Structure 1
Amino acid sequence: MTAAKTTREEFAERLLKGSVKKSYAPVVDIDWDAPLDPDKFFLPPQVVTLYGTPQWEAMSRREQIELSRQELVNILSAGIWFENILNQALLRDLMHKNPTAATTHYALTELGDETRHMVMFGKTIARIGGTPVRPRLFHRIVINSLPFVFRGDVLWGAALVGEEIFDALQRQILDDPDLQPIVSRLMRIHVTEEARHIQFARDGLRKSVPTMPRHRRFVLANLHGVGGPFYRMLFTLPIQYRRAGLDGRRMRAAARANPHFRASCVSSFASLAAFFDDVGLMGRIGRSLWRRAGFL
């Protein structure tokens, strides 16, 4: 049966079977007692935001490793808050769905996966001796309001923006031999399970776009563009530099001007950008926002 002829229910059934065959329980599937290697990075050097800059070259290896630790803590913290938004949105959306449908059952399966990922991220931050990066009060108010907005097509678009950027980044780093083993294992688990979540969200949009009203398609094709400036802000938060003993504002400016960081951003968005183009959801405003943020 071709993908074009597969119904939404049949696609969900396939993902449910995949979840049965290959899912993880991070509490037992990661060796939390394994020692950390003091000479290994927490993120590969090439994806650290300052990599390749004069500031990076002036740092000792120990200082570079510490910056990679703080940037990992920042990324995992953001992952926890995003999973929180997605889970709330999924539960609210399911209130209006058929509880016997395979799509509902897969959404609940995804919700369970994301809950375990939040535990995995939190335990990793604690294991590597990090302090979570918490959103400010205003940001928490916005975060708590988003699940009321994320429904239907908007939910799938938001899920892709939230998941695919991180997924592409993780695929670049999970097999790096210079990476802490606990981080490699975390990335492997997350990539495996997120692949199904991404397929589910993509399938939802691919099937709904052809019958979507023009005004709704216009909104969706441009709304996702806010992800560009959001990620640019997120990846270069001054707090991660300050915690590594650096000047937060100066290092943020250096990172944003860093061609290596820009190339990493472009690479992480490439697959999602191609998908949005393919299904007709890359509007002029959305494209401009991603480009101005350095992702195109």
Structure 2
Amino acid sequence: MASSTVRPDTRPRSGAQNPPAQDDVAQRLLDSAATLSYDPATEVDWETPLDKDFHGASPEWSTLYGTAYWKELSEAQRKELTRHEAASVASTGIWFEMILQQMVLRDIYAKDPTSAEFQWALTEIAEECRHSIMFARGARKLGAPPYRPHRVAVELGRAFKTLAFGEAAYAAILVAEEVLDVMQRDWMRDERVVPFVRTINNIHVVEESRHMKFARDETRKRLAKAGPLRRHINAFVIAIASYVIVTSMVNKGVYANAGLDQERALAEAEANEHHKSMMRSSCSGLMDFLASARLLTKPALFFYKRAHLI
């Protein structure tokens, strides 16, 4: 019996040329989404009360892991801290996903709605909407307050979502997704992490793999038309966006909310070589991609080094 699933018709219309190459990528992503997607409303256990015997994230990813302060904390304090840090990362993810959705919508505005590329873009936006709701519910279940980026970061994000286009938009999307992807792959496999957070991370990793593929493809495609000046300007813009995103992931308020001395925690987190090393290792593949795209210019490298991404 034939399947009743309706797929977008991206075959060339009579007299038309073959679909562009980007439609091939987009159609594969649409097929993947049709085969493997999740509904967080039913997949995540929202009903079971929070079990405080678990961490909110792998301890090794805590900004204080390996510091003198970390060694002084009780196991309960460490778990409380990682729960607040996980909630902060989730809240930052919501902030950037809202930026991402607006940039993608602006990019496809007035494009051919019958194309697979257009329909994939809307599919990605739909997945990002579900992710944002999932992250919001997860942060609330972790018992954390609403963490928001610093006002300067919020205003820079407002400008970026309005002005960024082409490779600047898609490469910045890729940076945010890649950094989250590596840490969440660790968290979803870690039995020390509270089960509902592991489920959230698994959903996000599976579905974001499609988004990262699309962002890489779009970045390469847009750069194919870029001259040296445009490439250098956008390399700089992408690096600044990356710096703002990464440095906004853990809100400084997590320490006080976890019952720690905020001033001391901030100082030790800033000097924590272990966490810097974790960030650099998580971004090695991303940096290789940016290098291959010739986006690691000297001015850009300054910001990647400041953010401990390289």
TM range, normalised to the smaller chain? over 0.9
Counterpart selection for 1:22 from 23, 33, 36:
36
- The equivalent of 1:114 in structure 2 is 128
Q: Secondary structure at the match of 2:48?
A: coil
Question: In the alignment, is residue 95 of structure 1 matched against residue 119 of structure 2?
Answer: no
- What runs of 5+ residues in structure 1 fail to find an aligned partner? 1-5
1:113 to partner: Cα distance: 0.3
Name the counterpart of 2:62: 48
1:245 equivalent to 2:282? Answer no
- Contact kept in structure 1, 2:223 and 2:231, CA below 8 Å: yes
TM-score (norm 2): 0.89
Aligned to 1:148: 162
For 2:256 and 2:88, the matched residues in 1 are separated by 12
Task: State the alpha-carbon separation in 1 of the partners of residues 271 and 242 from structure 2.
Answer: 16
Pick one of 77, 80, 88 that aligns with 1:74. Answer: 88
Q: Which of structures 1 and 2 has the bigger CA Rg?
A: 2
Tell me how large the CA RMSD over aligned residues is.
1.7
Higher mean C-alpha displacement, 237-246 vs 183-192: 237-246
Query: Which residue number corresponds to residue 240 of structure 2?
Result: 226
* 1:12 maps to 2:12: no
User: What are the superposed Cα offsets for residues 87-115 of structure 1, whole Å, 9 maximum, x if unpaired?
Assistant: 11112222142222111110100000000
Query: Residues 176 and 246 of structure 2 are in contact (CA less than 8 Å); yes or no, is this contact kept in structure 1?
Result: no
- Answer with 72-81 or 128-137: which moved more: 128-137
C-alpha separation in 2, matches of 1:136 and 1:113: 26
Q: For this pair of structures, how many residues does the alignment match? A: 291
Q: Look up the equivalent residue of 1:289 and give its one-letter code.
A: F
Residue from 269, 275, 289 that aligns with 1:255: 269
CA contact (8 A) 2:148 2:251 kept: no
1:3 matched residue in structure 2: none
What is the CA distance between 1:137 and its match in structure 2? 4.6
Confirm or deny that 1:207 pairs with 2:221. Answer: yes
1:132 aligned partner: 146
Stretch moving more, 90-99 or 38-47? 90-99
Matching residue of 2:204: 190
Q: 2:45 is matched with which residue: 11, 14, 31?
A: 31
SS in 1 for 2:131: helix
Deviation at 1:228, TM superposition (A): 5.0
Match of 2:299?
285
The letter of the residue matching 1:72 is A
Structure 1's 227 and 138: CA in aligned 2 closer, same or farther, altered over 3 A?
A: closer
The Cα of 1:231 is off from its aligned counterpart by 4.5
Where does the alignment leave 5 or more consecutive residues of structure 2 unmatched? 1-19
Moved more, 281-290 or 78-87: 281-290
Identical positions, percent: 34
Flag the 1:53–1:138 CA change in 2: closer, same or farther, 3 A: closer
Question: Deviations 1:175-221 (Å, cap 9, x if unpaired)?
Answer: 01111000100000000000000000101112232331221111122
CA drift of 1:138 comes to: 4.6
Conservation of the 8 A alpha-carbon contact between 1:117 and 1:190: yes
CA distance in 2, matches of 1:223, 1:277: 15
**1:161 aligned residue:** 175
CA offset at residue 147 of structure 1?
1.9
Q: Which residue of 2 aligns with 1:173?
A: 187
Q: Distance in 2 between matches of 1:54 and 1:154?
A: 40
**Which stretch shows the higher mean deviation, 52-61 or 154-163?**
154-163
Amino acid at match of 2:41: V
- More helix by percentage: 1
Q: TM-score, normalised by structure 1?
A: 0.93
What is the identity, as a one-letter code, of the residue corresponding to 1:134? R
Contact 1:41 1:69 in 2 (8 A): yes
Task: Report if aligned partners of 2:149, 2:251 keep a CA contact under 8 Å in 1.
Answer: no
